[in-house]
Each structure stands twice: as structure tokens, then as C-alpha cells.
Amino acid sequence: MATATAPPSTRWIGSRKLLNRGVSSLRTVPRRVVVQVKAGAYSDELVQTAKSIASPGRGILAIDESNATCGKRLASIGLDNTEENRQAYRQLLLTTPGLGEYISGAILFEETLYQSTVDGKKFVDCLYEGNIMPGIKVDKGLVPLPGSNNESWCQGLDGLASRCAEYYKQGARFAKWRTVVSIPCGPSALAVKEAAWGLARYAAIAQDNGLVPIVEPEILLDGDHPIERTLEVAEAVWAEVFYYLAENNVMFEGILLKPSMVTPGAEHEKRATPETIAKHTLAMLQRRVPPAVPGIMFLSGGQSEMEATLNLNAMNQSHNPWHVSFSYARALQNTVLKTWKGRPENVEAAQKALLARAKANSLAQLGRYSAEGESDDAQKGMFVKGYTY
């Protein structure tokens, strides 16, 4: 009697054998990549923007949390979630003197892109004057993926072209779209394909409207799996992502990646050293990412401030064909928030705290960071199980 097999959409990404069967079996036609890159009238500008962001010793400040998540940040220091308080916090960050020495781009939420300082100066103009490229979060968040193992897909393709065109007029020059893959949930071949296809369509639309797309399939830290399992899944996910990027004629020289570092699950019994994380992460990049991609801007994913910096530093101890840097949110803001506390008299001290963290990660991008003198707060982990924003 023949043994029934699970439909492709419910197969897990598991062994090497299943990697080949589970994902590729979703397709009924042979893989044929046609080299026909179309970035339109913005080709040269996209390349220059990507190179500017991926410049030596600099990385990205991600402050694109939704208003609800920004409210959680403010609540942690006893502030109400009002537009006035959100504006005050964004102003503290974006007007920090000298920030452009270490930060090349800032990812904003839509509200922030259109906001100004209390003196009426547009935040976008503040960034340009500081030699920082404005970016914008363009996805519409995660929703349940029907037919999957309790997994998610990212919405936001409807109306994306017109939104990107408006964001470009407002001064944004790059975009960010985050989707997630959960290892404890499988991940299913369906979820991986959906993540890769959505990212590829977004990237093509963003480039067509002058925005450099940050491609971010975040492999969540949730789980008790070993680092080898994370590497296996990461390789499968990035293989799928680049296949669909090519199918959608995305110009690789005009994109940036925002991958997770390859680490054990947050609940794994044994923590990995920065050297081990660097070894596995670079192995994944070398196997899956073309050298045409200018910048790899890692997310911190709930690591402590110091941990994220140490891991980045370890990855820059050897030559890489890409600019290996950071696109951190919590790992740049945690100490800043605790220093500020919502009080005007603490703004200068909080800005100095931001500069200190930005400089630490700048040194890590250059492979010259030392953890000597780091505070206790910088060493506290920030992992939240099932984290959303």
C-alpha cells in the first residue's frame, strides 16, 4: 500500500532532503532565472543610496515602531502614549548632534516621516542636514496565514506603489518590509514561500518608485533549538528569497538585507559565543547572498545592547564581500530611554547615551569594538517571546 504524503504546504523545513522536496515541490515548472533587471529611471540613484547607507563605520537606527509599540517604550518610563510624547522622543533621537558620524540611515514610522520638531523643522530635513538618509516602514503588519501551522504572513502590497511614490516625495529614500519565520512552528514550506514572494514583490515595487528596499525575513529567536537548526532554516529561507527577488527582476545592487544573526533559540540550554555566532552567520551569508548586495544590516532581535555589538564585532574580524553592519532598534534605544525618563533636563544626557551606543556599533562594524566599561543595563537581554511591533 502506498504511503500518503503530506501536501507541500504542510511539510516542515527539516532535513536537507526535505529542504529540497518541501520548498521546491511547491513549483510545477522548472526553475529558470532570466537575467532581466529593471529598476527603471531610478537605477543610478538606488545604487548611490544603498552605497551611502552601507558606508564604513555606519549603520541604521530603526525607530519605525508602530504607534502602539512606541507606546510600550514610553510606558516603560511612565509616559502616556500621546503624539506629543512620541514627537518629543523622536526629536531627541533625530536631532542628536554628531549622530551622522555613526548612523547612515534612520527607518521611520509614517507618523514620524511627516512630523516636525517643536520649532517647526521637518524631521526629514534634520536627517539630511546630519548626513543621515531617511527611510520608511511600508508593510502593514503580520496576520495569520491560513493553511499554515499557526504562522504569519505580512500584508501591505495593496496600494504600495502609490504609498512609496508619496514617501519619496516626502524625502524618504529607502524602505523596510518585515516578515517573520518561526522555527517552533515548522516552519512550513507555505510560510517560507509566502515570506519570500511578499518580500520580492515589495522590493520590486519599492525600486520602481525610487526607494532602496531593505529585505527582512526575520527568523525569530523563539524556541529551544540549537544553532545548527537556525542555520539550516536560514539557508532555506534566503535561498527562497533570492530566487523570487531574481524572478521579480530586482536589482541586487540597489537593495539592503536585514537578516537575523544565526543564533541558538532563546530558550536553548547553551548560549553561543560571539565567535560561534559569527562563524555560522557568515557561513549562511557566504552560501546564499550574492556579493552584488552592498549591505547586510543585521537586526538585534531582542539581544542585549552589548551582545548585539559583540556579535557584530566578531563578524567583522575578517574580510567580507559586503558591508556587514547594524540596523538596531532596542539595542540602540534601551539605555537612551532609561536615561531620558521623559524629562527635558535629561535630553542632553540621553543623546550622549545614544551617541555612545552608536559609536560602539560603529567600532563593531570596523571590527574594533571592546566591551570594556559597558554598563549593567547594556548587558541585560531584551528578548520577548512572541514579540510583535
Does 129 participate in catalysis according to the annotation?
A: no
Q: Spot the catalytic one: 110, 258, 305, 307.
A: 258
In terms of C-beta density within 10 A (0-12 exposed, 13-18 middle, 19 or more buried), how is residue 120 classed? exposed
Pairing type for strands 295-298 and 256-257 reads parallel
Reported as a single tens digit per residue, the pLDDT across 253-277 is 999 999 999 999 988 998 899 999 9
Start-to-end C-alpha separation, the chain? 49
Q: Write the secondary structure of the chain as one string of H (helix), E (strand) and C (coil).
A: CCCCCCCHHHCECCCHHHHHHHHHCCCCCCCCCCCCCCCHHHHHHHHHHHHHHCCCCCEEEEECCCHHHHHHHHHCCCCCCCHHHHHHHHHHHHCCCCHHHCEEEEEECHHHHCCECCCCCEHHHHHHHCCCEEEEECCCCEEECCCCCCCEEECCCCCHHHHHHHHHHHCCCEEEEEEEECCCCCCEHHHHHHHHHHHHHHHHHHHHCCCEEEEEEEECCCCCCCHHHHHHHHHHHHHHHHHHHHHCCCCHHHCEECCCCCCCCCCCCCCCCHHHHHHHHHHHHHHHCCCCCCEEEECCCCCCHHHHHHHHHHHCCCCCCCEEEEEECHHHHHHHHHHHCCCHHHHHHHHHHHHHHHHHHHHHHCCCCCCCCCCCHHHCCCCCCCCCC
What mean pLDDT do residues 44-67 have? 97
Q: For the domain with range 36-367, which CATH number is right: 3.30.230.70, 3.20.20.70, 3.40.50.2300, 1.10.10.10?
A: 3.20.20.70
What mean pLDDT do residues 116-121 have? 97
| 22, pLDDT greater than 50 | no
Residues 6+ positions from 376 with CB-CB distance below 8 Å: none
Entry pTM: 0.87
Q: Is 150 left (phi over 0), alpha (psi -120 to 50) or beta?
A: left
Q: What is the rounded distance in angstroms from the CA atom of residue 200 to the CA atom of residue 196?
A: 6
Q: What is the rounded distance in angstroms from the CA atom of residue 51 to the CA atom of residue 48?
A: 5
pLDDT for res 38: 56
| 233, pLDDT greater than 80 | yes
Q: What is the rounded average pLDDT for all residues in the chain? A: 89
Reported as a single tens digit per residue, the pLDDT across 134-154 is 999 999 999 999 999 999 999
Q: What is the rounded distance in angstroms from the CA atom of residue 186 to the CA atom of residue 337?
A: 36
pLDDT for res 302: 79
Q: Residue 315 is placed in which grid cell?
A: 563578524
Burial per residue of 254-271, b for 16 or more beta-carbon CB atoms within 10 angstroms, e otherwise: bbbbbbbbbbbbbebeee
Phi, psi torsion values for 51, nearest 5 degrees: -65, -35
Does 258 participate in catalysis according to the annotation?
A: yes
Q: Spot the catalytic one: 65, 151, 194, 216.
A: 216
| 208, pLDDT greater than 80 | yes
pLDDT band at 28 (very low <50, low <70, confident <90, very high): very low
Residues 6+ positions from 350 with CB-CB distance below 8 Å: 92, 336, 337, 339, 340
Q: Is 323 left (phi over 0), alpha (psi -120 to 50) or beta?
A: beta
Domain ranges of the chain: 36-367
